[in-house]
Chain A
Amino acid sequence: MKRLKILPLSLRGKKRYVKVVCRELLPQNFEISVSNSFKKLFGMLGFSFAKIKIVYKKEREIIFKCSHEYVPYLIVAICIASFGTKTFPKIRGISGSIKKLKAK
């Protein structure tokens, strides 16, 4: 099957990476609960425009990728997903490149 030519950088939407560090171990379905709370609060339209993806996941760290306009929305969704649990997620950093973010 023929693949589409990749869009040039100038035509792609801007993205940001959000690094989250937890005090306890990350729960198994953390990313699912984040996307569920995002959909509940901002709807399916907001969820599709936000383009949320998980780039990197470790025991206590997780890196989300999303559209640069939807960073505050994602942070609130993370907060709601972990509200009332002892996960205590902390936003370690927001950056345009993974290399910089991993160093934080």
Chain B
Amino acid sequence: MNFFDVIIPEKIHKRNIIEFIETAKWFGYGKICFIFPAKAIKKKDKIESILNESANTTVKTYFGFYARKMKELLKLIKLRRNFDLLIVEGGDLNLNRKACETSEVDILLNPEFNRKDSGMNHIFAKLAAKNNVCLGISLKKFLSTFEYKEVISNIALNIFLAKKYGMKITLVSGASKIEEMVDPLSLVSLGKILGMELKEAKESASRVLTNIIEENLKRKRPEWIAPGIEVVKK
């Protein structure tokens, strides 16, 4: 199976990115996507050149950006065609809602982060399903917060809502250092423990993100206008 992972590196260094790619190859990932903060959009050309230089035949690489604030999200939406993946790091209720309402957003990562509730309800789930926004579960954030009360049950609740209202789910490592990368089977196992079926868990660690990236690559073409609308030459 062609597993897909999302990595959030701390630095934009060629050596660091090569090490990530080599580790991903060891774990058997087929594709990885590097996610950078919204500020790094100015360094887009540098990121692209580093990824092209460190291209590997076995592991395909993509890049994207994440937003933590509403301002950053609005800025990234305007420049959406320039990169492969747009992630919103959840936590703030307004930001969670905005992410669910926006079809340019690909993943809403950990909406329950730093909250006492799950950060999502049935309305958010319906909106997200309508706008093709995925629920992302990051293993790194899970490990940093699982000791706190109700965190695991909130994640399980979000998975339940996502399943019920047809929202897609993705399981990612969210590693910022090489030591935080994990085996894809442990992501699948985590999904199974949190209430997913084995087939669903496997798909959420592989096919879901691949489909999103394929759709986003179509968006980059000049013929693309909106989802389902394209300019066709006679």
Residues of A in contact with B (beta carbons under 8 Å apart): 23, 41, 71-73, 75-76, 78-80, 83-86, 88-91
Contact = CB atoms under 8 A, between A and B. Distances in A.
B183 A80 contact: no
B224 interface: no
Nearest to B144: A83
A76 B181 contact: no
A79 B182 contact: yes
B179 A75 contact: no
A76 B190 contact: yes
Nearest to B178: A86
Interface stretch (B21-29, B91-99, B210-218): B21-29
Contacts of A78: 186
B179 A79 contact: no
Interface residues of B, number: 21
B223 to A, nearest CB: 42
B185 A91 contact: yes
B193 A90 contact: no
Contacts of B186: 75-76, 78-79, 91
Contacts of B146: 41
Interface of B: 23, 26-28, 139, 143, 146, 177-183, 185-186, 188-190, 192-193
Contacts of B185: 75, 91
Contact of B26 (A71, A72, A75, A90): A90
Contacts of B139: 79
Contacts of A90: 26-28, 183
A61 to B, nearest CB: 15
A84 B26 contact: no
Contacts of A23: 26
B176 to A, nearest CB: 11
A88 B26 contact: yes
Contacts of B26: 23, 88, 90
A85 B183 contact: no
24 contacts: A23-B26, A72-B188, A72-B193, A75-B185, A75-B186, A75-B189, A76-B186, A76-B189, A76-B190, A78-B186, A79-B139, A79-B182, A79-B183, A83-B143, A83-B179, A83-B180, A84-B180, A86-B179, A88-B23, A88-B181, A90-B26, A90-B28, A90-B183, A91-B186
Contacts of A73: 189, 193
B5 to A, nearest CB: 13
Nearest to A94: B185
A71 B190 CA distance: 11
Given A41-B146, A90-B27, A85 B190 contact: no
